[in-house]
Structure 1
């Protein structure tokens, strides 16, 4: 929904709104840039605001990526593949993604995977067989887990 007051806002007011937007929750450059489009200001003014937000550490891609990785893994149980794809979609560089993934200790990652996989296996009402296996595999692939992990776990649970 378009804000009726956008035309009356000064650059300082818009900057203040974006400071709050970035302080409230970690944001990446792309999200802030998209938010800026809702304000009717020139490209030069948009660039000035973005530069200000970066220089004053309101936008920090590395910090955003680390927070994103922790949050999506710990609260949504996402696997590395889904996290990587979502970060790439937000134009986060491969170097930053690689660094951010170190936020999840390997032991924690595997514990979370096994817990999620076992919980899902029990939750699938279908009898053992190809149908149950497909549902199990599809669920974990959607969550973004690696195929080798999924198939190893399937072999273990299917026995």
Structure 2
């Protein structure tokens, strides 16, 4: 069986649907997972979908994806703006990486305009809510087929 695309979600994304719905929408993380499974399935891909509030666990999963995944989609949440550890782990990956954010980080507070992990990503998708995950899966399918 082909290697899956890892989709990793960072802190507070477990609160989707109830946390600031005016910013993040009303879809839950479980809704997003099902949306990703369906989209990947239409492209003949499988996903490994995970969420953690712990930076160290996310770093461990990035390293796991490096060995066991075809590609990596990451919404690091607040760690996007703070985590050099995640950046270093992503830079060590030799698989395609796509960064995704539900909100447009450039229309928000100035501290959110800088994402450390963008330096390791093939591309960044932000501001399209849950659709951004589907767009990331499409971009990943293209990156995998080009590899």
Smaller-chain TM-score range? Answer: under 0.3
Give the structure with higher Rg (CA): 1
TM-score scaled to structure 1, two decimals? 0.26
Choose between structure 1 and 2: higher strand proportion.
Answer: 2
Q: Judging by fraction of residues, say which structure has more helix.
A: 1
